[in-house]
Amino acid sequence: MKKIIITGALGQIGTELVIKCRERYGTENVLATDIRKPEPHSPVKDGPFEILDVTDRNRLFETVRYFNADTLMHMAALLSATAEKKPLVAWDLNMGGLINTLEAARRYQLKFFTPSSIGAFGISTPKVNTPQLTIQQPTTMYGINKVTGELLCQYYYVKFGVDTRSVRFPGLISHVKEPGGGTTDYAVDMYFKAVKKGHYTSYINRYTYMDMMYMEDAIDAIIKLMEEDSVKLKTRNGYNLSAMSIEPEMLKQAIQVYYPDFTLDYDIDLERQDIALSWPDSIDTSCAEDEWGFDPKYDLPTMTKVMLEAIEKKQKECWAHTYFLKYIAIF
């Protein structure tokens, strides 16, 4: 990978993927794109950026040509809970964007990555230690998009020889950006609320187990998969990934190691709870481990320590900035 375009670069995964790829491959070799401009303090601004609507095929092709890309990482998507509220918008963006980026990869011979999700599973899927190959009958628009996406990627590999690769991400935990509309985002929100308020009201019920992973492990997994020799990849599209299976009470207890007075109660969002219940409790990641060495470094205790420290640092910086502005205003 020498010249990389990343779509959806301002999203939760996209932001950190841009940062890591620029560190590894050079700032000028990674073009970040999104449908809107970066926020004033976004790290994505520190390098090439283009406004790009992935549903605009001609503009996408033009961008690939002018940047002379050899790799396309397609991250632009509408997430699970948001997609349920706007299913037609989700279909148009998620599937229209995917088919356009796959066509770009076919036409310009690009290496291609896009994430799938544990949302690709459904209530008929075995819930414990979910196999790599299993029943996939999701009951959400997001899940349907993801299953279709896995099949499309495999089709483009088999039919046209496009070097497609994808993983089924679990819930991803990050302190760089606050929650963005996913069902598993309760976990990220709980960390932020623990630091800011000492209390959290969860929209996901206790004892609802879902797979999770720290964002750094997720970004490392993308890069490791994309750098792996193609001949070693048997599964290729839709690798199961996870680092831990947790539920809200487990997260509360991990936080209480550092914030003993932290409290948790519940106000269940039935729509997101139903989505969560349709997903596995835990998934089998052995194919990713065997084929390209997937090996996450963070478990719940280590992730919790890093998350709380990072959020505390952000909070102090915010207070310092606010105090400075007030001081300037006085004088």
pLDDT digits (tens, 9 = 90+) for 237-270: 999 999 999 999 999 999 999 999 999 999 999 9
* 329 pLDDT higher than 90: no
Q: How confident is the model at residue 133 (pLDDT cuts 50, 70, 90)?
A: very high
pLDDT digits (tens, 9 = 90+) for 269-327: 998 999 999 999 999 999 999 999 999 999 999 999 999 999 999 888 776 655 555 55
Residue ranges, comma separated, of all CATH 3.40.50.720 domains in the chain are: 4-171+213-240
pLDDT digits (tens, 9 = 90+) for 120-132: 999 999 999 999 9
Q: What percent of the chain has pLDDT over 90?
A: 86
Active-site residue set: 142
Question: What pTM was computed for the model?
Answer: 0.92
Structure tokens, 328: 């300037």
Residue 267 has a pLDDT of 97
Residue ranges, comma separated, of all CATH 3.90.25 domains in the chain are: 175-211+243-281+299-326
CATH 3.90.25, applies to 175-211+243-281+299-326:
yes
Contact 192, 311 (CB under 8 A): yes
User: How does the average pLDDT of the chain come out, rounded?
Assistant: 94
CATH number of 4-171+213-240: 3.40.50.720
pLDDT digits (tens, 9 = 90+) for 67-105: 999 999 999 998 877 888 899 999 999 999 999 999 999
